[in-house]
Amino acid sequence: MELYTTEQLTERWEAHNEICNLVGRFSFYELLRDTETIKRRLWCEDAEGASLGLNDGYYIGIAEIRKYYDAVKASDLCKAAIAKDRHHDVFEGKAADDIIGVGSLMVLNLTTPVLEIAKDMKTAKGLWSFMGGSVEHHAPGGPSAVNRWGRIGIDFVKESTGWRIWHMIVAVDFEAPMGENWVMPNIFPEPLIPFTMQRKNHELYHERRVYTSFPEVPVAYGTFAETFSYGPEDN
């Protein structure tokens, strides 16, 4: 068992608290559709090799990650414009930017946290299960409601501005319309923009899927070189 001084223990407790708040903010800003805050205040700025992974690929580099969040905002603006057209009596005089999220609801409940902070205090890593879903009343294809369960693995890096997200992998197990059989074949939606690296990171549930430990559960480590990454190889 590693022994730390009182000062070191205090520093580690403060880091643990800051990272937990960071992840909580990520969950709430997703609900609020606040992509600007997510990409500017929660993700790293200086660390090399930042990555955002989904089931079918990675966005690599902070510029590509920001393009992804820009695409999310563009999609939200499209839905807001549809809502404004349908309910012009309610939203007359309002810009689409002012009503982003109208008719939408996203739930991202993060549970079962496992968080490990490196001995050198330069990085940390955590794994969460999530149970959630989304309702989109003004989607271009018509109203939809989806159940979405899975796991999120995150590598954190400490920058001059504090702890930030460095690598994130969102591994979805279920993506099924509400009211339908969850064990029927799942179809994952097309990405909003092309991946930097297209690859099968994680399979949606199906009757022949072999359960895996991906994303891996964090264990105690000294430096990032001693552990695995939630990003693609060599990141």
Q: Which residue has the higher pLDDT, 217 or 138?
A: 217
- Tens of pLDDT along 10-37? 999 999 999 999 999 999 999 999 999 9
Reference 46, options 162, 190, 181, 209; nearest CA is 162
Written as six digits, the tokens of 98 are 């002012």
Annotated domain spans of the chain? 6-226
Residue-level pLDDT at 106: 87
Pairing mode of beta strands 162-177, 51-54: parallel
* Cβ-proximal residues to 160 (8 Å cutoff; 6+ apart), any chain: 46
Residue-level pLDDT at 228: 97
| 127: three-class secondary structure by DSSP | strand
Tell whether pTM > 0.85.
Answer: yes
Of the chain, the percentage scoring pLDDT greater than 70 comes to: 97
The residue with tokens 């946290």 is: 113
- Tens of pLDDT along 206-234? 888 888 889 999 999 999 999 999 999 87
39-48 contacts at long range (C-beta below 8 A, 24 or more positions apart): 39/65, 39/66, 39/69, 42/164, 42/165, 43/164, 43/165, 44/157, 44/159, 44/164, 44/165, 44/166, 45/159, 45/161, 45/164, 46/159, 46/160, 47/157, 47/159, 47/164, 47/166
Pick the CATH number of 6-226 from 2.40.50.140, 1.10.8.60, 3.20.20.540, 3.10.450.50: 3.10.450.50
Residue-level pLDDT at 159: 98
- Tens of pLDDT along 45-61? 999 999 999 999 999 99
* Cβ-proximal residues to 137 (8 Å cutoff; 6+ apart), any chain: 83, 103, 104, 143
Q: pLDDT category, 175, cuts 50, 70, 90?
A: confident
Supply the mean pLDDT for the chain.
92
